[in-house]
Amino acid sequence: MNLKIENKGFIAITVVIILAFFYLILGFPGMMSALGIILIFMLPAYLILNNFDLEQDEKIIFSFFIGVGIFPSISYWLGMVISFRLAILITFILLVAIAVVLPSRNKASK
Amino acid sequence: MKFKRAYLEIAAFLAVYFFAVYLWTLPFQNSKIPYGEFDAISHWELADYPAQNDRTFVYLPPFIDYSYPENNKYKPHTLWYHPPFHTDLAMISAFARDRVVPIYLTNAIFASSILISVYFVMRKLFGFLPAILSSFLLTFSMRDIMPYLWGQWPERFAYAFIPLILYCFYMYYTSYSKESSKPVYIYMMSILIAVNIMIHPLGFFHSLAGLFVLWIFLLVKHKKLAFNFKHIIISLIIFIILFAIFPYQTASMLKTFAQKDANTKQPPFSRLFQWSFDPKNFGGSVPPSYFSFREMSGNWTLLSKLGINLNFLMVFLLMGIFVLVIRRQDRDIFLLAWLISLYLVLHRDFIGKTNLIHRSLSATAHIFVPITILGALSIASFIKARQISQFLKYGMVLLVIFLAFKYSMPQAYSTLDTAYDNPLKRLNQAQIDVSEWLKTNTNDQQNVSIIGPPPELMEKVWWMASISHRVSNFFEGFLTWGRYKNKPEIASSHLLNDFIVMDYSDIGLISDRSYVDKWQQYEKQNLANHTLLYNKGSIGVYKYESKN
């Protein structure tokens, strides 16, 4: 388990700047969309990748590109049987739970 | 000090990316009305439907099935794309509680994510300056902007995976030895390939070609296989699990791939010496300018006033290739393999695979641009004196920025700024209102028919279908076209119990006045005895039912 995010302060400032930018150009829906992209696509996948021996920039980039495939794959199938919004929430909890239980592998393996 | 530099680099990248996103979102900054060609309509409705109905689906809703019943080659009437791309858009739409901005913004971020992946890979392999300049120049790539506007949404995003997949393989291979290795990269690669398929198969085929060429090149240079049975098995298992999540779509993809292409004409030998295609072979699908490097990338004719009509973009690109070939470090091989694999993909017509071949051309800037930047920056390395070399290097940086602003940005900006601002291209408020009314007041098993629109309004009808989640029959040109010879029969058998929409809201935009007269005459003769349920903003909705 490794839920620690490196450079928290800098990341927080960056996120605020990103949200402000999207609010400026596209209003509230734009800002909420950017927040959704960070929370849904990136955060759970980042927490999972945090358990692996990757550099922080790699974790950030991979979390986005992996998150856009893994997260919807789960919420799509869940959305068949339960409310789609609930499916999104459950998928988020599930992926964060995986990040928590996953053993940390922060060293190069043989 | 090191941290501060990293922060500055991130700030610089954010500035470039914000600038790009600002440009790419221009089409929906002022007008929050959906736009795009028929492809865009299908993507928007596939994303909007789950968000609005709070459920996902295997079988297409009737209004989508009407237009795309056979698109899934393996299981008709189901989604033809793997669900993740549209589910992504749907999730953000549901989260942000808006139907237009979240879907278009998420797509804009997906489409422009090639700037992110190229920046990341170039930063890792070549450092900050080549990375930031590559990302900056890609902002104006017309071969990316045009398909993005037209609506080839998933494909645009799929290309952004290619450099990352190659990077993962490269990292695994170059760090591999018998004593230690970093298998996490091969696992990442496996996941990214699977996600790449889910986004769009074309990107996946590009990635496979890239991996193959990169592996061959590294193998020749290092003479090591970098093969660990355990790593390969684990990554295969990861891939197969992800590959099997959406069987209908995967089977459809494989079936499409296995099909013999209709056009099996052998291309001329001379095409081996060309990157692009003859525009005449693609008339009607994309404009001729799409096939021109000069028009799509920019014509950097810096010295034209001196009578020298050299396109410096091309000069830098050739210099870049030259430097990579001469130097042949691992990172150079990375770019060369990517370039050669793109060449192979663009010449797949030689093995009879022509399906979507012109679309592969839209991936050219992704590799041309980084090599162009390396070519421009390499000029400084020819100077031995360090101070002059540094001066020249930063001078080239400024020159590239200047040339990009002067020659590449104007076309990109004007295209994005004026995209779909013709009133015939976007719904008006009356059309949105009636679409919302239909969505609320009819159920999705009832037919809603639009009769009569001339071809120039057909995209609007499709957009109304998307927004209303209804409209299951289009009778395009019904009133004037000879094709509908049995009009009374259509009216009695096909339209019975349908809701009929008569839309005069664009009346002022239709050039052929006689068309409108026919429309009104038809309404008077055929619908006068039926119930008018909605009448607002020059749009009427009738319930066409038998009075018996």
Q: B314-359, pLDDT tens digit by residue?
A: 999 999 999 999 999 999 999 999 999 999 999 998 988 888 889 9
Q: What is the widest separation between alpha-carbon atoms in chain B?
A: 96
A-proximal residues of B, 233-272, CB under 8 Å: 242, 245-246
Give the C-alpha separation, A64 to B198, whole Å. Answer: 15
**Position A61 in a domain:** yes
Lowest-confidence pick of B66-80, B383-397, B488-502: B488-502
Chain B CB contacts of A34 below 8 Å: 105
Nearest CA in chain A to B59: A80
| pLDDT at site B263 | 67
Q: B10 and chain A: CB distance < 8 Å anywhere?
A: yes
Q: Do A84 and B54 touch (CB under 8 A)?
A: yes
Do B368 and B384 contact (CB within 8 A), yes or no?
A: no
Chain A CB contacts of B160 below 8 Å: 65
- Asked if pLDDT for residue B42 goes beyond 60, the answer is yes
| pLDDT at site A108 | 46
Reading the block at residue B204, the tokens are 């996946």
The proportion of chain B whose per-residue pLDDT surpasses 70, expressed as a percent, equals 95
Alpha helices in B442-496 (DSSP H): 458-468, 487-489
Name the residue range of residue A76's domain.
8-101
**Position A62 in a domain:** yes
Q: Can you name the residues that pair with B448 across neighbouring β-strands?
A: B499
| pLDDT at site B520 | 85
Domain count, chain A: 1
Q: Do A36 and B199 touch (CB under 8 A)?
A: no
Q: Do A10 and B7 touch (CB under 8 A)?
A: yes
| Residue with the two structure tokens 């769009």 | B200
Alpha helices in B33-180 (DSSP H): 38-53, 62-65, 84-96, 101-111, 113-126, 128-138, 142-150, 153-159, 161-175
Give the C-alpha separation, B101 to B98, whole Å. Answer: 7
Q: Do B120 and A37 touch (CB under 8 A)?
A: no
> CB-CB: which of A53, A57, A72 is closest to B87?
A72
**Position A14 in a domain:** yes
> CB-CB: which of A17, A27, A84 is closest to B50?
A84
Chain B CB contacts of A39 below 8 Å: 95
Q: Do A61 and B87 touch (CB under 8 A)?
A: no
Phi, psi of B54, rounded to the nearest 5 degrees = 60, 30
Give the C-alpha separation, B117 to B106, whole Å. Answer: 16
Do B117 and B30 contact (CB within 8 A), yes or no?
A: no
Give the C-alpha separation, B535 to B295, whole Å. Answer: 48
Chain A: give the shortest CA distance to residue B54, in Å.
Answer: 5
**Position A80 in a domain:** yes
**Position A2 in a domain:** no
**B212 half-sphere exposure, CB direction, 13 A CA radius:** 11
Do B68 and B39 contact (CB within 8 A), yes or no?
A: no
Chain B CB contacts of A25 below 8 Å: 21-22, 25, 29
**Position A89 in a domain:** yes
Chain B CB contacts of A32 below 8 Å: 95-98, 102
The pLDDT tens digits for A10-56 are 999 999 999 999 999 999 999 999 999 999 999 999 999 999 999 99
Q: Do A62 and B246 touch (CB under 8 A)?
A: no
| pLDDT at site B450 | 82
Label residue B176 left, alpha or beta by phi (over 0 means left) and psi (-120 to 50 means alpha): beta
> Of B450, B423, B467, whose CA–CA distance to B541 is shortest?
B450
Chain A CB contacts of B84 below 8 Å: 68-69, 72-73, 76
Domain boundaries, chain B: 2-417, 429-544
